[in-house]
Amino acid sequence: MNILLELKHLKLLSLSARPVIFKGLLIVIALIVLRAILSPFFAINSSEKEEFYESTAPDLLPGIRRDKFVEVPQIIWGLNNQKIAFARACLTARFLNRSLLMPSLSASLFYKEVDLLQPINFDKVFDFKKFNARCHGFVRLARYSEVSNRTEPFKLQKGSGRRWTVERDLDQLQQFVGGKADDFEVIEIVGKHPFLWPDHWPVKDYAKIFDCLVLVAEIETEVAKVMSKIREAGQRARHEAGVSHSKQRRDGSTNLPVPYVAVHMRIEKDWMIHCKKWEQRSNLHEICSSKEEIIHKVSQITDLRRPVVVYLAVADSLLEDDSITSGWRVGMVAYEKKKLGVTDIYDRQPYLIKSAIDFEVCSRADVFVGNSFSTFSNLVVLSRTERLYNLGKASSCGENIGLSSYAYNVMGDDGGPQRWMTDMSDRNLQRLSYGTNNVSCH
């Protein structure tokens, strides 16, 4: 009898335990499924993540539509005007919630002879996958192979003339958000090239897109070669002066790279003629700077211990003028491409790639000095300001916080060049595109 009671009791216990066991099994199964979903993100490296983003179906990840596209004309003019035009095209596509079909850039520099322009694919200069990975969810580039060609593109004609205001242009774009054009797979924007489109976008949006532009590996290798030559020159200068460079890294090693100053030196004849006329028309007196004025201003920067190498980013027309590296103050050793021995790196490249190399060399310098009316200088400073903001530094006033930038054409409170950071609150790119002498350190 007792045995029967015990068996009955055990049966009841097993029945009562079943819900607990069932719940446990559900938890285990849920954990296995969750791990299967998340494991790709923990197991793959950054380059594989880029491919993951590229291959994921549109309804699995939020962001810009992958089945609707915007097409723009070939992007032309100088490197930095092309970067602005590209960003403006991206932001227009974002506004329309479409992917931007990868545009052609221009390898050569011609302002009027459009038939002489040498087109170059975007992905021959900038890394396509890295761009989409870094800008994921904000803007998206697409390849033409993604277009199904089911319908003819809808042509969106950009207006022109004085009557075509910024407001009218924005109204036009708003009409195509969810309007009749939404039925078309491709919206082709015709007319003016993107740099000349009215600007509706804040500086911080441009900065985000510029931060997504990563040079392809072949060009990045050339940048590294030039920077290595600059730092080697700095090492020699310090060795000859008997100055030790033995600062330690946080990990205790002592192989810190020798710092350098990069100066975007605008003193070529056509620039000086242009800026003098500019000063007369605008009644401004802080646009042009002579070589002597630039040397004087740069010599007053005390951010780096001397001797220090000063890399001069100058137009090719100045490379035969040996005087640009002479006259510098004691402790400032000036180099340009020819003296540095890197002309072979630049000579085998088209104009656009040359400019891209110089841009990166200046952008990564320990100190940068430029002209606040130069688009090149403005975009270098924007890049450096974005990096400082990412480090939580919104001001460079009164202290050396690293990545210092200066405008040699604007006098600072101490009589030297004005410390310079981009105003990230600007509502458009006007001041960066066309220049200003209203620059500050925050």
Do 205 and 291 lie in a common domain? Answer: no
Asked, as a colleague might, if the bond just before 307 is cis with ω within 30 of 0, I would say yes
Question: Which residues of the chain have a pLDDT value below 50?
Answer: 1-22, 28, 33-34, 36-61, 248-254
Q: Is residue 427 part of a domain?
A: yes
Do 208 and 264 lie in a common domain? Answer: no
Indicate which CATH number applies to the domain containing 366. Answer: 3.40.50
Q: Is residue 15 part of a domain?
A: no
Do 165 and 234 lie in a common domain? Answer: no
What is the SS3 string spanning 72-99?
Answer: CCCCCCCHHHHHHHHHHHHHHHHHCCCE
Q: Is residue 30 part of a domain?
A: no
Q: Is residue 27 part of a domain?
A: no
pLDDT tens digit string along 182-220? 889 999 999 988 999 999 999 999 999 999 999 999 999
Do 304 and 390 lie in a common domain? Answer: yes
Contact residues for 274 (Cβ-Cβ < 8 A; gap 6+):
none
Do 76 and 116 lie in a common domain? Answer: yes
Q: Is residue 389 part of a domain?
A: yes
Average pLDDT, the chain: 84
Cα distance between residue 350 and residue 193, in whole Å: 21
Do 274 and 408 lie in a common domain? Answer: yes
Burial of 274 per CB tally in 10 Å (0-12, 13-18, 19+): middle
Q: What share of the chain is helix, strand, coil (3-state, %, to 5)?
A: 45, 15, 40
Q: 247: how many CB neighbours lie within 10 A of its CB?
A: 10
Do 71 and 208 lie in a common domain? Answer: yes
Please tell me the predicted confidence (pLDDT) of residue 225: 98
Do 106 and 193 lie in a common domain? Answer: yes
Helix (H) or strand (E) holding 212: helix 203-212
- Count how many domains the chain has: 2
Q: Is residue 161 part of a domain?
A: yes
Do 138 and 281 lie in a common domain? Answer: no
Q: Is residue 37 part of a domain?
A: no
Domain that holds residue 387: 217-242+256-434
Q: Is residue 174 part of a domain?
A: yes
Do the Cβ atoms of 355 and 361 come closer than 8 Å?
A: no
Do 189 and 233 lie in a common domain? Answer: no
pLDDT tens digit string along 119-130? 999 999 999 999
Do 238 and 174 lie in a common domain? Answer: no
Do 262 and 399 lie in a common domain? Answer: yes
Indicate which CATH number applies to the domain containing 105. Answer: 3.40.50.11340
pLDDT tens digit string along 162-172? 899 999 999 99
Q: Could you tell me the pTM of the whole model?
A: 0.83
